[in-house]
């Protein structure tokens, strides 16, 4: 089944929600980046988060970026998404692995990150993008985003993110949800949400039982609160790089540098971190680019 994002609000307008099934997206990212198990879990969580936050963007030109700067062996993570369910991302050190924590029964995502900062950049086509930051206090991404929404956007929220790995190391499920209380939500509604979340088991385990993200919202997380789905968006891993786009980038190099490359018959190679492809520009192509730059 194709990945998708849903968003909506309860009938009484007191709770809004986002949810995503990102299983195929995370599998694709793990394959093209040759991700370790730890990084499959980490990047999968980040991709799910970006897809849900991106679903709130207004314009086709708007972009959301989630960035982790850290001192752990993963070396950092970058993910971007748009309003149409397109997402891409990469991990600086994709093949590093950290031990599974037998005590907590959790993958070593926190150890992979170490100490760090989560930055969220909303480029809304204005002069300056909105930038929010929080210290990575928990290292789970979900709890850190919950903290971000409260601290930076003053929105009481609950974020759930998960990637389920089977014993052979393959990705079985990937997804997430964001539940947010609207201003002046009454105490009985808050109590229902809190109680439902407290009783709710692991997200990807429930997905693996065959429940869709719609069913998870309606039957579990927002049970008895009459959630109404207002939008459904297909989700996919999509990099918009191209030979032409990188060729336009080469035009920005110093002309003397390009002339030197032609003289030495060099091949300029540009690597796209998002899709792991190399774009090569030989002598004749560089000549052509130099001519057009005049």
pLDDT exceeds cutoff 90 at 181:
yes
Q: What is the pLDDT at residue 249? A: 78
Structural tokens at position 113: 């990150």
Residue 246 pLDDT > 80 = yes
Collapsing DSSP to helix, strand or coil, 191 comes out as helix
The DSSP secondary-structure symbol of 106 reads B
Chain mean pLDDT for the chain: 92
Among 122-126, 167-171, 192-196, the least confident range: 122-126
252: helix, coil or strand? coil
**Residue-wise pLDDT tens digits, 46-66:** 999 999 999 999 988 899 999
CATH code, residues 243-292: 3.90.1280.10
Per-residue pLDDT, 103: 65
Q: What's the rounded mean pLDDT across residues 159-163?
A: 96
Q: How far apart are CA 116 and CA 141, in angstroms?
A: 11
pLDDT at position 294 is 63
117: left (phi over 0), alpha (psi -120 to 50) or beta: beta
Q: State residue 293's pLDDT score.
A: 63
| pLDDT of amino acid 26 | 98
Q: Per the confidence metrics, is the pTM higher than 0.75? A: yes
Residue 290 token pair:
């130099």
Q: Dump pLDDT digits (tens) for 69-112.
A: 999 999 999 999 999 999 999 999 999 999 877 666 678 899 99
Per-domain boundaries in the chain: 4-237, 243-292
Quick one: what percent of the chain has pLDDT higher than 70?
98
- In this model, does residue 289 exceed pLDDT 80? no
Domain 4-237, CATH number (from 3.40.50.720, 3.30.1330.120, 3.55.30.10, 3.90.199.10):
3.55.30.10
């Amino acid at each position: 089944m194709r990945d998708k994002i849903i968003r909506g609000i309860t009938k009484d307008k007191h709770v809004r929600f986002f949810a995503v099934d990102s299983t195929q997206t995370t599998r694709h990212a793990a394959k093209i980046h040759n991700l370790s198990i730890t990084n499959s879990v980490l990047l999968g969580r980040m991709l799910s988060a970006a897809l849900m936050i991106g679903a709130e963007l207004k314009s086709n030109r708007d972009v959301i970026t989630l960035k982790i700067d850290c001192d752990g062996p993963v070396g950092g993570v970058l993910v971007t998404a748009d309003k149409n369910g397109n997402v891409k991302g990469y991990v600086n050190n994709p093949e590093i692995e950290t031990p599974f924590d037998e005590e907590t029964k959790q993958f070593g995502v926190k150890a992979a990150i170490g100490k760090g900062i989560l930055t969220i950049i909303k480029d809304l086509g204005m002069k300056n993008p909105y930038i929010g930051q929080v210290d990575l206090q928990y290292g789970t991404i979900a709890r850190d985003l919950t903290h971000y929404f409260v601290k930076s956007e003053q929105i009481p929220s609950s974020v759930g993110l998960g990637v389920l790995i089977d014993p052979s190391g393959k990705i079985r499920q990937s997804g997430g949800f964001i539940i947010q209380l609207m201003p002046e939500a009454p105490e009985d509604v808050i109590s229902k949400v809190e109680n439902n979340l407290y009783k709710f088991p692991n997200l990807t385990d429930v997905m693996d039982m065959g429940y869709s993200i719609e069913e998870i919202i309606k039957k579990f997380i927002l049970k008895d609160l009459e959630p109404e789905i207002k939008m459904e968006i297909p989700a996919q891993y999509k990099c918009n790089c191209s030979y032409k786009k990188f060729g336009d980038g080469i035009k920005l190099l110093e002309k003397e540098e390009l002339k030197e490359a032609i003289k030495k018959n060099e091949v300029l190679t540009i690597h796209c971190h998002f899709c792991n492809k190399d774009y090569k520009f030989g002598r004749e192509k560089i000549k052509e680019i130099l001519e057009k730059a005049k």
